[in-house]
Structure 1
Amino acid sequence: MIKKLFKNATVKNAGWLIFGKVAQMIISMFVGLLTARYLGPSNFGLINYATAYTAFFMAICTLGINSVLVKEFIDNPEEEGSIIGSSLVLRAISSFLSAGIIVCIVSIIEADELTTIIVTALCSLSLLFNIFETFNYWFQSKLKSKVTTIATLIAYVITSAYKVVLLILGKSVEWFAFASALDYICLGVILIICYKIYGGNKLRFSKSVSTRILKKSVHFILPGMMVSIYGYADKFMLKHMLSEAEVGFYATATTICTMWCFVLTAIIDSVYPSIMEAYKVDKILYEKRNRQLYAIVFYVSLVVSTLFCIFGELIVWILYGEAYSNSVGPLRVITWYTAFSYLGVARNAWIVCEDKQKYLKYIYISSALLNVGLNFVFIPFFGATGAAVASLITQVVTTLVVPFFIKDIRRNSVLMLEAIVFKGIK
């Protein structure tokens, strides 16, 4: 039975994704942590502040397309070339506009901070090259995660080598800001080459395909923006209400507690196509697979969060050093956020299959408003730990509470609760 399990395409797909992320994590342990130590809380916080702008606009420039690509490839295999080509054009236009807007905004509100403007501009370059992520979803739909895993790992190794050189030469924070863009540049080149090698169809732009994709993805744009506000408003507010160092402490806590989340991402990405297929043929199996996914995500997260809570102080001291000791408090709070956050990520498969995308905006608008409000309350008194409390409360509301008040998606919350009590997963 075990031998048969490892021959299963979905399991092998997840295995390759996890392998790649584990390799990245190992490299990150030696390079990323050394970089954080070298930069110190303030400069590390500055890069995370700049990255927050990029992440926010990423939700806009992706146009929600990523959320529907796998289903598009499965439903319309004969149009693969048009789907990819059209997606690339749409994302390229929005990415150029977004990068320009970021630079303009930062130049206005941080007019006296030239370093901040330069760092933010360099980080925003990643938007322009992130468009090639589209090829990743094509490989996912083919259960060929081995290809994207190797490509991602190669790109990460190149970027890590770049950072090591910077550490040796003692370069300034601006050089490190370019690292994220370099990662996407390398990955994009490799994915394009692999797409050609694996016989991908000729890329072409189609107005009809573009229109179809946008009609399906448009419902993900506003929710994506709201998620970004919820996910990055705390960094903006910490920087402007307190200091860049507080952003550094908070970013360190979130980095540690999400360091292992590649496992959850790999599981969700690999199960996603099988849920799509089950929806077409068997509703009972479809709901069962959703419950199984939710149960795995939730309980694996709880186990890891407990360990972080117990050994948080030791972990911060070993990985980042005494300078980041103020990260322990927010780490012990924000780690519990993971379980609910990734339940929300796992929910996307159900949302797409049931064609309930239009309701996402209501969930995330309420969450973004709640998060900003809670940050105003908690940050002045508790600093980075207060931001962590605000994020945790908001995520619970986003995942379990708000959906119960929306009739058409209430069923998904029921599936989550059934999964938590192990009902209907066998």
Structure 2
Amino acid sequence: MLRSEGFRKYFRNTSWLFLERMVRLVVVLVTGIYVARYLGDSLFGQLNYATGFVGLFFALTTMGLDEIVVRDLVKHPQRRDELLGTSAVIKFGGSLLLVLLVLAATLLKDMDGLTASLVVVIAAAELLRPFSVIDFHFMAQVKADRAVRVQMAQVLVSAGFKFLLIGLQAPLIWFAWTYVLETLVLSVGYVVAYARDGATVRAWRYTREMAGYLLGQSWPLVIYGMALYVQAKIDQVMLGDMLGSRMGEEAGYAEVGQYSVALKMIEAMGFLPVIVQKSLAPAITRAKAEDPAKYADR
């Protein structure tokens, strides 16, 4: 088994995903320490409050499509352009809805000008997210190395930009623009990697039939995702609101800043099960389609 081509293929795939997570963990941790020291508790907390507020709506950018599209790309590779094109349109629609809801919620909460600006910039970054569907193609093809190279480039560019901002003593709003830069680098990188794999986004196409099918499959996952993201992000928003009303806005953001540092360290430890699932899911799907006995064994 250990010498089989299939084992080596999926082991390499998992190793690349593990490498990306480790690089991301180290770079983000080091960068986060320097950013937190530069901004101080209050401004760092204000930035994390804004990301947490936008994060409440993040399920709309995924639309529950990730596992479904990867599964269908494995089962129906000949429909790749239709699957990816339709998924990209759905994701863009979800991202646009996220921006509109965030804008409405920002007005209803009557945020201060700086926090509202942070929220709007971070939310706008999600409009570039649709090209992330290219990652589904690489996962279905068990070519994680193509996507991982792009993701590591994104992490390093983002870290370099943040250190540049620190060196220039940039104001807080510029750190929100790093989210736009990250998404832009990721999108461009995915398109280039996709082209090098012999494909092109120009061949993508949207069909109502596929959109109806995908949304019909994904709506339970959208609801689950909403509950998951709200559960993951609501603590930072509630902490900022509750302590801000009691102790003052600046003191409330300072508490969010300290809480966010600890939270990021805890969140970083939960990546291993996600990597294994992401890497092996295509093999399980392929086995089920080709040989039920092999699927039962796996």
TM-score with structure 1 setting the length: 0.63
Determine helix, strand or coil for the equivalent of 1:178.
helix
Counterparts of 1:288 and 1:49, CA distance in 2: 46
Corresponding residue of 1:139: 138
**Matches of 2:273 and 2:41 in 1, distance apart?**
28
Question: Partner of 1:50 in structure 2?
Answer: 50
CA shift, 1:3, in A, is 5.8
- Residue deviations 1:302-357, cap 9 Å, x none? xxxxxxxxxxxxxxxxxxxxxxxxxxxxxxxxxxxxxxxxxxxxxxxxxxxxxxxx
What does the per-residue CA deviation read over 1:190-227, in whole Å, with 9 as the maximum and x for residues that have no partner? 10111122122621111111111111111111111111
Aligned to 1:230: 231
Once the two structures are TM-superposed, the CA of residue 282 in structure 1 deviates from its matched residue by 6.1
Aligned length: 288
Give the secondary structure class of the aligned counterpart of 1:268: helix
**Where do 1:27-426 residues align within 5 Å?**
27-111=27-111, 113-200=112-199, 202-242=203-243, 243-280=252-289, 286=295, 289=298
Shift of 1:106: 1.3
Contact map agreement 1:135 1:192 (CA 8 A) in 2:
yes
Counterpart contact for 2:92–2:129, Cα < 8 Å: no
Displacement of 1:274: 2.0
Change over 3 Å in CA distance of 1:8–1:188 after alignment to 2: same
- Structure 1: where are the runs of 5+ without partners? 290-426
Per-residue Cα deviation, 1:346-378 (whole angstroms, up to 9, x for no partner): xxxxxxxxxxxxxxxxxxxxxxxxxxxxxxxxx
**How many angstroms apart in 2 are the aligned matches of 1:192 and 1:259?**
27
Aligned to 2:21: 21
Give unpaired runs (5+ residues) of structure 2.
244-251
SS at match of 1:204: coil
Alpha carbons of structure 1 residues 79 and 175: separation in structure 2 relative to 1, 3 Å:
same
Q: Distance in 1 between matches of 2:183 and 2:133?
A: 12
Contact 1:5 1:11 in 2 (8 A): no
Q: How far apart, CA to CA, are the structure 1 residues paired with 2:240 and 2:296?
A: 43
Q: Check the 8 A contact 1:47/1:119 in 2, yes or no.
A: yes
* Partners of 2:48 and 2:260 within 8 A in 1: yes
Separation of aligned partners in 1, 2:37 and 2:214: 44
Distance change in 2, residues 1:136/1:238 (3 Å): same
Deviations 1:63-97 (A, max 9, x none): 21123111110121111001111111121122123
Would the aligned equivalents of 2:56 and 2:234 in 1 still touch at CA under 8 Å? no
Residues 134 and 190 in structure 2, CA contact (< 8 A), matched pair in contact too: yes
- CA drift at 1:4: 5.3
8 Å CA contact 1:81, 1:200 repeated in 2 = no
Q: Is the 8 A contact 2:57 2:230 kept in 1?
A: no
DSSP 3-state at the match of 1:258: helix
Deviations 1:163-198 (A, max 9, x none): 011010111211111112211110100101111221
Query: What is the aligned-residue RMSD (CA, Å)?
Result: 2.1
Q: Aligned residue for 1:408?
A: none
Deviations 1:6-61 (A, max 9, x none): 96111100111111222222322332221122122222221221112322222023
Measure the CA separation in 2 of the matches of 1:280 and 1:158: 40
Higher relative contact order (CA 8 A, sep 6+): 2
Report the residue type matching 2:108 in the other structure. I
- Relative to structure 1, the CA distance from residue 58 to residue 26 in structure 2 (aligned partners, 3 Å threshold; closer, same or farther) is same
Q: 1:25 and 1:52 mapped to 2: Cα distance?
A: 19
Pair 1:240–1:288, CA change in 2 (3 A): farther
1:143-182 per-position Cα deviation (integer Å, ceiling 9, x unaligned) = 0100000011111111111101101011121111111221
Structure 2 match to 1:323: none
Amino acid at match of 1:200: A
Matched to 1:53, the amino acid is F
Pairwise CA distance, 1:277? 2.7
Structure 1: distance between partners of 2:87 and 2:218: 11
Contact 1:60–1:94 (Cα < 8 Å) also in 2? yes
Tell me the CA shift for residue 5 of structure 1. Answer: 8.0
Percent identity of paired positions between Structure 1 and Structure 2: 24
